[in-house]
Amino acid sequence: MSRWASALPNREELAEAKRKAIIREAARVFSRRGHGSSLDDVAERLGVSKAALYRYVDSKQDLLYACHLEAMEIARESMDRGEAKGRTGLEKIRIGMADYLREMIGAMGVPVLILEENALTGKQASDIMRLRDDFETRMRHLVEEGITDGSIVPVNPKIAIFMLLGAVHWVTKWYSPEGAWSADEVADALMELATRGFAAEPAAKLGATLHR
């Protein structure tokens, strides 16, 4: 196989890419129209038939679950990047969370985490709950790392994380991608402010575009 051929996506990769696109569009539908939206709504929005949709998902529950998994995957990857780029606990959290928010309100339209929570049951619900617990535990450890390395003021890690997650999730309620602010601007401005709350040496001036 030449290097060009290997750079092209194979059939499985194409199917996976299509499935991802469906999930992201569905997440947008669920978060704008509520988790009461039907598979028909999603199919209509995608401009495909319901039959075509069924090639990729088994049911609405399945699709909702996939949206949540995708959101948790975005969270995980964002924190990976935050941990790779940040030099201190504070930087890791700030970079990771800004990245997460940017991805959520950029690519996915608006965060889907709140809306669908009650719509999942059984193993699907407990799976998502466990992923969230893992995510929150990871965040708390970063706060503790920051306290140890001196970048974060001694603080209750749970309260600090709840404050951050609140700021992030509330974005569903007020952000519109059609509004004046880009996802980038909102993510930077919001996370600069929220993490400054527990910075050991808070900057005297805010740097994010929306604050200037």
**Which of 58-66, 102-110, 122-130, 194-202 is the region at the interface with a copy of itself (rule: CB under 8 A)?**
194-202
For the bound state, the minimum distance from the C-beta of residue 164 to a copy of itself, rounded and expressed in Å, comes to 8
Residues 157-176, interacting with a copy of itself (CB under 8 A): 159-160, 162-163, 165-171, 173-174
For the bound state, the minimum distance from the C-beta of residue 44 to a copy of itself, rounded and expressed in Å, comes to 21
Choose between 28 and 35: whose C-beta lies nearer to a copy of itself. Answer: 35
Q: Is 205 exposed, middle or buried (0-12, 13-18, 19+ CB in 10 A)?
A: exposed
For the bound state, the minimum distance from the C-beta of residue 161 to a copy of itself, rounded and expressed in Å, comes to 10
In degrees rounded to 5, what are phi and psi of residue 199? -70, 140
Q: What is the DSSP letter of 182?
A: -
Residues ≥6 apart with Cβ < 8 Å to 163: 194, 197
**Which of 16-24, 74-82, 119-127, 154-162 is the region at the interface with a copy of itself (rule: CB under 8 A)?**
154-162
Choose between 2 and 118: whose C-beta lies nearer to a copy of itself. Answer: 118
Q: Are 92 and 142 in contact (CB under 8 A)?
A: yes
Q: Which of 31, 35, 119, 111 is nearest to 71 (CA)?
A: 111
Is 49 among the residues that bind a copy of itself (CB under 8 A)?
Answer: no
Q: Are 172 and 194 in contact (CB under 8 A)?
A: no
The binder of a copy of itself chosen from 37, 78, 151, 195 (CB under 8 A): 195
Q: Are 46 and 70 in contact (CB under 8 A)?
A: no
Binding site for a copy of itself (CB under 8 A): 34, 118, 153-156, 159-160, 162-163, 165-171, 173-174, 186, 189-190, 193-199, 202, 204-206, 210-212
